[in-house]
Structure 1
Amino acid sequence: MLDPKKLEELAKQIADAVPPGVKNMAEGAESRVKTVLQSQLSKLDLVTREEFDIQSQVLIRTREKLDMMEARITELESQLNEK
C-alpha cells in the first residue's frame, strides 16, 4: 500500500488549505481527510514500489532468456538448413 507518511503529508496539506475559520469548525479535519484518503486508496488495485521493482527485474531476466533462446533457435535452424 502507500507510504503512511506520504498519506499524512497529503492529508496535512489538504487540511492546511482550509481557511482558518472553517478549520476551527472542522476540528480533526486532517484525520478525517486521512481516513477518507486511506479508504478510497485501499479500493484501488495498487502495488507497492517494492513489488513493482521485483516484477521489473523478473521481466528483464525473462527478456534476456527469451533473447538467448531466440538466438539459439536461429543458430539451430541455420545448422539444420546446412545439412
Structure 2
Amino acid sequence: MLHKVLMDKVGSQAARLMSSDLGQPAADLEKQVKALLQSALARLDVVSREEFETQQTVLLRTRERLEALEKRVAELENKE
C-alpha cells in the first residue's frame, strides 16, 4: 500500500514538473525526474541486484554446508 502511495506521489510530482517547465531543456527535466525517482526509491525497502545476487550466493553456500553437516550427523548416528 505504501508503495502505491509513494508511486502516485512520484507520478503527480513528475507530471507537475513536466507541465510547469515546458521551456526547460530536456536534459534538465530528465535530471530532475531522475532525482525525483531516486529519492522515491530510496524510501522503499529494496536492495540492488548486485546485493541480491550476493546474498543469494551466500544462502546457496550455507544451504550446501547445512546439507553436508546433516548428512555427516546422520552417518555418525548410524555408526552408534
- TM tier relative to shorter chain: 0.5 to 0.7
The structure-2 alpha-carbon separation of the partners of 1:24 and 1:52, relative to structure 1 and needing over 3 Å to count, comes to closer
TM-score, normalised on structure 1? 0.58
Identity %: 45
Deviation per CA, 1:10-37, whole angstroms, max 9, x where unpaired? xxxx89xx7xxx5872624322221211
What is aligned with 2:58? 58
Structure number with larger C-alpha Rg: 1
Provide the C-alpha distance between the structure 1 equivalents of 2:37 and 2:21, rounded to a whole number of angstroms: 21
Name stretches of at least 5 consecutive residues in structure 2 with no aligned partner: 1-13
**Equivalent residue runs for 1:3-82 within 5 Å:** 22=19, 25=22, 27=24, 28-80=28-80
TM-score, normalised on structure 2? 0.60
Name stretches of at least 5 consecutive residues in structure 1 with no aligned partner: 1-13
Deviation at 1:46, TM superposition (A): 2.1
Provide the C-alpha distance between the structure 2 equivalents of 1:64 and 1:25, rounded to a whole number of angstroms: 57
Q: What's the Cα RMSD here? A: 2.6
Q: How many residues align?
A: 62
